[in-house]
């Protein structure tokens, strides 16, 4: 199994993701610089990590979406390669058009960093299959712009078609309908604000995030 973690200027969870994937799955993980114009061959998983790409200038994820490597990421995702955007990575996926909606300033206008409890709304996706009958998970959030927003028609479609994957039990940032993570229509692109990479060992407070990476690579 082979995965890639894309590194943008300002990424700060890229190494966390690399270690989390390696320890959770045993997969080979390559770091890919944002200025590269090609992805490694034979990838089973692409991860856009958390952080503050380009210092969050202009709008979170907007500049990263224009990085050279993103054309290749988008093409790979459209071919069906499993792609995960975590926190800032979720923002990038929305900016590049791989997922609907947008991430706005938190409702309280403050940065929020804490453990959160999640409902696993759809356990049948390629990112949640390893959870089995488990319907709750604990991860952490760390963001100032994690407030998921979409128009009512889009929200209805996401819920009606089973594209809402994770939902906050105690919404920390004001996200519409408590949405914490969604997948695209094809089911191979996941964006979520909580960090599975910070929840892969019991010593970190939870190992629930490990099953997300295991699910993604098992499906490959």
Contact criterion met (CB below 8 Å) for 49 and 92: no
Q: Residue 153 — φ and ψ, nearest 5°?
A: -65, -40
The pLDDT score that the predictor gives to residue 57 is 87
Mean pLDDT to the nearest integer, 85-106: 98
pLDDT above 80: residue 220: no
List the single range of 34-38, 55-59, 99-103, 147-151 with lowest mean pLDDT.
55-59
Token couple for 162: 């089973």
pLDDT in tens, 148-196: 999 999 999 999 999 999 999 999 999 999 999 999 999 999 999 999 9
Over residues 102-122, mean pLDDT: 96
Average pLDDT, the chain: 96
* Residues 6 or more apart in contact with residue 11 via CB below 8 angstroms: 49, 50, 51, 52, 53, 88
pTM of the model: 0.96
pLDDT of residue 204: 86
Distance of CA 114 to the CA centre of its chain: 17
Of 3.40.50.10490, 3.40.50.880, 3.40.50.20, 3.90.170.10, the CATH number of 2-218 is 3.40.50.880
d(CA 198, CA 20): 8
Confidence of residue 58 (pLDDT cuts 50, 70, 90): confident
Q: Which residues are catalytic?
A: 87, 195
pLDDT above 80 for 129: yes
Give domain limits for the chain: 2-218
List Cβ neighbours of 206 (8 Å cut-off, separation of 6 or more). 115, 137, 138, 139, 199
Instruction: Give the contacts of 50 (CB within 8 A, at least 6 positions apart).
Output: 11, 12, 13, 16, 86, 87, 88, 89, 142, 143, 195, 197
Per-residue model confidence (pLDDT) at position 165: 98
- Cα separation of 38 and 75, whole Å? 11
């Amino acid at each position: 199994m082979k995965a890639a973690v894309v590194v943008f200027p300002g990424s700060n969870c890229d190494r966390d993701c690399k270690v989390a994937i390696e320890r959770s799955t045993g997969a080979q993980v390559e770091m890919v610089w944002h200025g590269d114009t090609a992805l490694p061959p034979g990838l089973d998983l692409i991860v856009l990590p958390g952080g503050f790409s380009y210092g969050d200038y202009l709008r979170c994820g907007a500049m990263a979406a224009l990085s050279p490597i993103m054309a290749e990421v988008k093409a790979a995702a459209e071919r069906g390669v499993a792609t995960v955007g975590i926190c800032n990575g979720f923002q990038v996926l929305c900016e590049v058009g791989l997922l609907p909606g947008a991430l706005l300033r938190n409702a309280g206008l403050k940065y929020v960093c804490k453990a959160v409890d999640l409902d696993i709304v759809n356990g049948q996706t390629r990112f949640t299959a390893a959870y089995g009958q488990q319907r709750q998970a604990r991860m952490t959030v760390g963001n100032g712009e994690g407030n998921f927003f979409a128009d009512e028609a889009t929200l209805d479609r996401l819920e009606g078609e089973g594209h809402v994957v994770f939902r906050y039990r105690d919404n920390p940032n004001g996200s519409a309908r408590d949405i914490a993570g969604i997948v695209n229509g094809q089911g191979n692109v996941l964006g979520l604000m909580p960090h599975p990479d910070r929840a892969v060992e019991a010593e970190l407070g939870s190992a629930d995030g490990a099953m997300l990476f295991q699910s993604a690579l098992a499906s490959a």
